[in-house]
Amino acid sequence: MSTAATSHYKSNLRDIFFNLFEVLDIGSTSLGQGSFTSLDVDTVKSTLESLEEFVQRELSPSWVESDRVPLQFDGEGTVTLPPGLRRSILSVFESGWHMLEVPEHLGGVGAPPTVSWAAFELTAGANPCIAFYVFGTFIARVIDSLATESQRERFVRPLLENNWGGSMVLTEPDAGSDVGAGRTRARHVEGDLYEIEGVKRFITNGDFDAVDNIIHLVLARPEGAGPGTKGLSMFIVPKFWVNEDGSLGERNGAFCTNIEHKMGLKGSATCEMTFGEKIPCRGLLVGGVHKGIRQMFHVIEHARMAVGAKSMATLSTAYLNALEYAKIRVQGPDLLKATDKTAPRVTIINHPDVRRMLMLQKAYAEGMRALCLYTAWIQDQVELAGGHGSADSKELDRLNDLLLPLVKGYCSHKGYEILASSLQVFGGSGYCQDYPIEQYIRDQKIDTLYEGTTHIQALDLFFRKVARDGGQTLRGLMERVQGTLGQLDGIAALEVEKSALTRALGDIQGIYGAMMGKLPESLYHAGLQGNRILFATAEVVIGWLLVRQGLVAHRALTKLEAENSTNEKELDFYRGKLAAVRFYCREVLPGLTLARKQVEGSSLELMDVPESAF
């Protein structure tokens, strides 16, 4: 186990702070308001600095072990974690970091989403398995929000105070992403009590030995309920029964019956779960109402945000590892002296193609962080406007809903693609376990597959988030982009960025216009072009967010230079930010013009090709 691998994680707290305090200005727009009155800027900064130190010390060292030391399944329902990984999980509970996002009325810190998602980046970047093993705190929040009063009293405090685990249980072996095809049954016993029977698959953290109990949120079909997702209900199903006073009872009939052997993220137990086979499996109908898929979407959308943030965190540390390597790896002469056999060898960061790959990674990593934290900021504003579903938060809710498939679908899919550049900087060494890049790639690939594949995100964006409200929310977002373009008037230093973003804005409007014109012919057009539309939408939004950052960086750099500042670290940060923004505008945004032409010129010929011809 190499030193390079065990100390793999490289955070970018400076860019996190830039997003939170200089661009989003959460000190004025979130902190000290509504339910976020207990935190101020200094407290948030010191908290995230402490967390950064904690994840480096306690979480990052077990990341390699989680990949190399297999999980142990005893065949009787118990999954045993590698010792170091188990210690890391317990350290989170012991230090109380899992309570950062928990509301104050439940004994937590009550951090706004911007702060809790910034913290999630640090945790997921250091050891993504752990970021999901502490999912129980979110399950507690869901129960607190949706359950009956007796269910809240029975589960929420015990779950938080005893550090129980949690999981979301949707997928079935034959159904896959078609959740509505699920056949797990629920038989009514009395009141809100049901008995659950069936088999679920691909259940993250369905069992693990670092906690005394696990609370599963399970989708099942009550007897007599109709087909599809509308016939599903959600149930609280504990591994060990929880008595009415919150104490632990006997073993419940929810058992892990197999674990998957995976390409990556091996330390995260991906379980087959069988309900009601060995002994009866009892569950409580959440809230006493049959609104399962609507209730589960509270969990699904949180998980989708987490997956996108995980991908961003992985790309960020991969880039910083590649950057460090490029500054010390000496190979070949400068290209301008390639024919001079006596020319000195240089570090590879001096080679143009390596610089291109590094700036590609930097631009995408910082752009994805901007997207994740802007979405989190919208979630801040939803809370301050009265919370999800309130009358005053409807417009913000819809904007958050539109952004989520970009966070999940784009960050996961493009993140995997750009990680190849991280590996390429290392050359053959990157393909070996001496460096963390090969594990990053294996650990990250799952992000494009679970919580809704990339194309599911694309269809969700197009049909549920854009077409359903007639494009109103998308137009509102594009008006925000237009507003930023207006702020660039007269700033010569950002003329390239303004021109590129203006053209990209026109291209994305053209893409949606062309697709709406094609849909009367066939929905196949959306199927064939959906991913391209998802990517183009995300790239416009990221381009806009980066240009906003460029405006802030330009002002800050101008001020520092006018003051004859000698703080080279800060000067270089803003110079690097401006370089990344310009690179993205010149290298990425022009691709929207091609995407527009492809959507405009697309046909259905592919659907007419006989299966035998493939």
Residues taking part in catalysis: 451
Q: What is residue 318's three-state secondary structure?
A: helix
The amino acid at residue 185 is: R
Supply the DSSP symbol for 252: P
The amino acid at residue 399 is: L
Q: Tell the burial category of 345 from Cβ atoms under 10 Å away from its Cβ (0-12, 13-18, 19+).
A: exposed
583: left (phi > 0), else alpha (psi -120 to 50), else beta? alpha
Q: How far apart are CA 218 and CA 195, in angstroms?
A: 12
Closest to 541 (Cα-Cα) out of 378, 320, 389: 378
Q: How far apart are CA 521 and CA 524, in angstroms?
A: 9
CB 80 within 8 A of CB 209: yes
* DSSP run (H or E) holding 366: helix 352-384
CB 298 within 8 A of CB 389: no
Q: What is residue 160's three-state secondary structure?
A: helix
Supply the DSSP symbol for 348: G
Report CA 434 to chain centroid distance, whole Å. 27
DSSP string, 543-598: HHHHHHHHHHHHHHHHHHHHTT---HHHHHHHHHHHHHHHHHHHHTTTHHHHHHHH
Largest interatomic CA distance in the chain: 86
Report CA 221 to chain centroid distance, whole Å. 29
Whole-number Cα distances in Å, 238 to 84, 250, 255, 444: 26, 10, 10, 30
Whole-number Cα distances in Å, 342 to 57, 187, 233, 351, 441: 45, 81, 74, 17, 38
| The pair of three-digit structure tokens given for residue 386, joined into one six-digit string | 């009265």
Q: How far apart are CA 587 and CA 581, in angstroms?
A: 10
Query: Residues with Cβ < 8 Å from 482, sequence gap 6 or more?
Result: 505
Residue given tokens 């890049």 in the structure block: 437
Whole-number Cα distances in Å, 562 to 67, 489, 567, 570: 50, 21, 13, 14
CB 93 within 8 A of CB 122: no
